[in-house]
Structure 1
Amino acid sequence: MSEHFEHHRAVLDTVRRFERMLNSNEPVFFDLEDFENIIDHYVTSTQFDKALQACEAALGQYPFSTELLIDRAQVMAMRGDYQEAERQINHVATLDPTNADVAVTRGIICTQRGDFAQAVEFFQAGLEKEPEREDIHFNLGLAYQSWQKFKSAAKHYKQSLRLQPDNETGVQELLHCLAISDRLDEHEDFFKRFTDDDPYSAIAWYNLGQYWYRREQYDKAAEAFDYAVVISADFYDAHHWLADTFVCQEKYREAIAEFEQSYPPNEPTDEALCNIGECYEKLREWEPARKFYHKAIELNPQMDEAWFGQGVILQEQGRWFESIHFFRKAVELYGDSGEYWSALGMAENHVGNVVSALEAFEKATEVAPEEVQAWVNWSAILYEQGHFGEAADLVRHAVELHPLESHFHYMLCAYLLADGRLREAYAELETALSLNYEQHSLLFDYFPELRQQPALQRLIDQFRP
């Protein structure tokens, strides 16, 4: 196990050295294995442009390497340049027609193109030549998963993990396939077998932790991740997942301690700093929360989560004017978040910028129509402005999205009453009372003037249990 982590650290060191040489325009010289590791690192982290850059640098040094030509073809396929990928692999096939990677690369091209049946045929051909190749099983899993054949995908992901348990992407994809096919529960023994076979394998405990985490059994997940970090104290990803597990359990101080160990000494990541800031935010310790969000932004000015977190802290402190700046920056960096737009809308409305608030809520519902609260908040502003019909039409979206949520039916009833649409209002009230009679008090909490309507009270009394 220690060899695995030493290799991982060595690869990261090599990648950093490669990037430093590129940034300083120094000549790039590495042995072939180092280049293979650099390319694999970028592919695994889906940094395909950098992977291609590494391929070109490597081929400049080793122009006749079949392995590098295959790598380049696969990277081109992953970037969507299928014509160049096919040209490259056809050239390799003339040089080395029996190479299993020719079929594998053609399979990758077909998977990327959406021709899953043909991709499976190519991967199976590769397995006939090299049946113990974990990467071919992994690619078969990806092809079947993209084809929405989740049981077949899981079968090959499992075989891939039997051959190489430290493929974290394989674990995640397997768990996704098991979850979507409702087969997580029956695979407990599969994950436990790795720890039974090797109780001192940090990877085995880490994978078991991932399994329990996906099943939302956080006590067991925390125990498994804890074993992983006890066995290998510098298993940074395991520290990160243990911290995430503590967050799910609302154990924020324990989470902070683990996030602080989720990166090499003196090399914090923006993600870890932002996560620590969020934990302090949950603890309502505003100053350390602000400090860590600020550190994350210093490390990565494009980190929208940290900008948003700063805004949330100010909002919680009632500093609405100041929060607007940070929410605006968050939506500027990531405009597809309904949560960000809704927060901006709330802040704008709070300081009296009604037009800006309406625009923000409209944008929130545009990018995330399934998030109910934006529709509700938008409708509340329109109601306050006297636009009762528009408010009713908007909150109806919330009703359509959550037809069994009585809260929204009560709100819709009130808006319809204000708009004079009595028949529709009473129909909504009957639905709301049928769903949850006790919640009818919300109607008067939000709209106390409705207590003066005797007909409304008589209808409510009819549904009294």
Structure 2
Amino acid sequence: MNENFEERQQVLDTVRRFERMVAQNESVFFDLADFENIIDHYTTNTQYDKALQACEAAIAQYPFSTELLIDRSQILAMKGEYSAAAKQIEDVAQLDPTNPDVAVTRGIIATQKGEFAEAVAFFHDAAEHSPEREDIYFNLGLAYQSWQKFKSAAKYYKMSLRLSPDNDMAVQELLYCLEVSERLEKNLEFFRRFTDEDPYSAPAWYNLGQAYYRLGQYDQAVAAFEYAILVDATFYEAHAFLASTYVSQEKYREAIAEFNLSYSVGEPTAEALCNIGECHEKMAEWDQARRNYQRAIDLDPEMDEAWFGMGVVLNAQERWLEAAHFFRKATTLYNESVEYWLALAAAEYQVGNVVSAVECYDRATQVGPDNKDAWLNWSIILYEQGNYDGAIDLMRNAVEIQPAEAELHYRLCAYLLAAGRYREAYENLENALVLDFDKHRLLFEYFPELESQRALARLIDQYRK
């Protein structure tokens, strides 16, 4: 893992040098292997525009490199420029018809276009000619996974990993496919085999740890990550995962210690600082939490989780106006989080910005229509303002989207009763009682005065088991 880390650092240095030269408009000169590393770095991080830019610079320098022309075709496919990608690979096929990468690239283009059967055929063709290439099996896995055929995808990810056990992307995709198809526990043996074959392989223990972690078997995960670290003390990802496992066990002190070991000495990452902030937050150590969140923001101003964390800390201290500022920033950085919109709505409401709160709840229900709290909290505001009809309409909407959520039916019933619409209220109460009888207590939590309503009590008694 040390070698891997050093290699990664060298690649990052090369990437920085390339970016500096581009920014300063200098003529860029790198050897072919360096260009391949730069392009690979960008594609791995899905920065396809930058990858294409690096590819064009490389082709200008090495115009006869088929590898670069193939890279160009694959990047165009990733960007969704399928006809340009297809034209490029057909040009390569004219020059070098037996190159297995021609079939691989055709497969990648077909996968991107959603033509999965064709993609699989291309990859199988490539695998026949180059049975030892792990990337071909990895691409087969991706094609099957995109096709929602998780069992087949897992099979090919495994084949890829047998050839290259250190491929972390293959591990992540395999774990995902096994989890989705609920076959992870049955496949633990696959991960254990690597540690049996090579007990001194840090990546093998790390991968086994991740499998245990996903299964919620935290003690075994801790043991596996500790083995990985024992073999390689600077295996930063293993420290980070061990820390996350401790978080899942609510062992926040141990987690902080491990997060502090998850980066090079004196070079903390924004992610580590944000995680440390969250651990302090869980222990209600507000000052340390804020300090770490702030340091994370200073390092990476685009880190929405750190802005949100700051908001949570201020919110817990009832500093709602300041909290709203941080929550708002989190929503501008990542506007698809229901959690962010709900937090911002609640903070706005505490400050007295009712209109803003309603807008935020509206946005939350758009982002996560199946989040019942968004509907319930929004409806409470309308109800408190005496807008019973608005609250009722909102709950009807919610019930339509989540018909099996008893709490929504009970709330609708309560609002109908408050509006004096008894017949409709009782109809909805019957639905709620059938769905979850025990939750009828919620009705009296919302409106204690309802306990004295005889008709209501009689109706509830009819459904008592």
Q: CA deviation at 1:346?
A: 1.0
**Structure 1, unpaired ranges of 5+:** none
1:345-397 per-position Cα deviation (integer Å, ceiling 9, x unaligned)? 11121222212211111111011111111000001111111122321332344
Amino acid at match of 2:408: F
Partner Cα distance (1:339, 1:329) in 2: 13
The answer as to 2:454 corresponding to 1:454 is: yes
> Where does residue 130 of structure 1 map in the other structure?
130
Aligned pairs for 1:378-389 within 5 A:
378-389=378-389
Q: CA deviation at 1:111?
A: 0.9
The answer as to 2:303 corresponding to 1:303 is: yes
Partner Cα distance (1:24, 1:253) in 2: 46
> Where does residue 191 of structure 2 map in the other structure?
191
Amino acid at match of 2:410: Y
**Structure 2, unpaired ranges of 5+:** none
Partner Cα distance (2:461, 2:120) in 1: 65
In structure 2, do the counterparts of structure 1 residues 124 and 461 end up closer, same or farther at CA, with 3 Å as the change threshold? closer
Partner Cα distance (1:142, 1:294) in 2: 38
Q: Give TM-score scaled by structure 1 length.
A: 0.94
Specify the SS of the correspondent of 1:67. Answer: helix
1:286-338 per-position Cα deviation (integer Å, ceiling 9, x unaligned)? 11111111112212222222222111111111111221211222222222222
> Where does residue 326 of structure 2 map in the other structure?
326
> Where does residue 32 of structure 2 map in the other structure?
32
Specify the SS of the correspondent of 2:63. Answer: coil
The answer as to 2:86 corresponding to 1:113 is: no
In structure 2, do the counterparts of structure 1 residues 56 and 265 end up closer, same or farther at CA, with 3 Å as the change threshold? farther
Q: CA deviation at 1:463?
A: 5.1
Partner Cα distance (2:23, 2:296) in 1: 23
In structure 2, do the counterparts of structure 1 residues 458 and 115 end up closer, same or farther at CA, with 3 Å as the change threshold? closer
Deviates more, 1:314-323 or 1:453-462: 453-462
> Where does residue 157 of structure 2 map in the other structure?
157
> Where does residue 356 of structure 2 map in the other structure?
356
Specify the SS of the correspondent of 2:21. Answer: helix
1:193-229 per-position Cα deviation (integer Å, ceiling 9, x unaligned)? 0000001101101111121122122222222122112
Amino acid at match of 1:410: Y
> Where does residue 410 of structure 1 map in the other structure?
410
Partner Cα distance (1:398, 1:227) in 2: 49
Specify the SS of the correspondent of 1:22. Answer: helix
1:67-119 per-position Cα deviation (integer Å, ceiling 9, x unaligned)? 11211211111111122222222222222221111111111111111111111
Could you tell me whether the CA contact under 8 Å between 1:297 and 1:303 is conserved in 2?
yes
> Where does residue 294 of structure 2 map in the other structure?
294
Amino acid at match of 1:222: V
Q: CA deviation at 1:60?
A: 2.5
The answer as to 2:218 corresponding to 1:211 is: no
In structure 2, do the counterparts of structure 1 residues 396 and 219 end up closer, same or farther at CA, with 3 Å as the change threshold? farther
Aligned pairs for 1:231-310 within 5 A:
231-310=231-310
Q: CA deviation at 1:7?
A: 2.7
Amino acid at match of 2:382: L
Partner Cα distance (2:216, 2:256) in 1: 20
The answer as to 2:426 corresponding to 1:429 is: no
Tell me the matched-pair count.
465
> Where does residue 102 of structure 2 map in the other structure?
102
Partner Cα distance (1:20, 1:215) in 2: 44
Amino acid at match of 1:450: L
The answer as to 2:81 corresponding to 1:81 is: yes
Q: CA deviation at 1:189?
A: 0.9
Amino acid at match of 1:249: Q
The answer as to 2:11 corresponding to 1:15 is: no
> Where does residue 227 of structure 2 map in the other structure?
227
Partner Cα distance (1:108, 1:48) in 2: 15
> Where does residue 43 of structure 1 map in the other structure?
43
Could you tell me whether the CA contact under 8 Å between 1:409 and 1:429 is conserved in 2?
yes
Amino acid at match of 1:125: D
Deviates more, 1:437-446 or 1:167-176: 437-446
Partner Cα distance (1:196, 1:383) in 2: 63
Q: CA deviation at 1:263?
A: 2.1
Q: CA deviation at 1:134?
A: 0.3
Q: Give TM-score scaled by structure 2 length.
A: 0.94
Specify the SS of the correspondent of 2:85. Answer: helix
Partner Cα distance (2:71, 2:83) in 1: 15
Q: CA deviation at 1:433?
A: 4.5
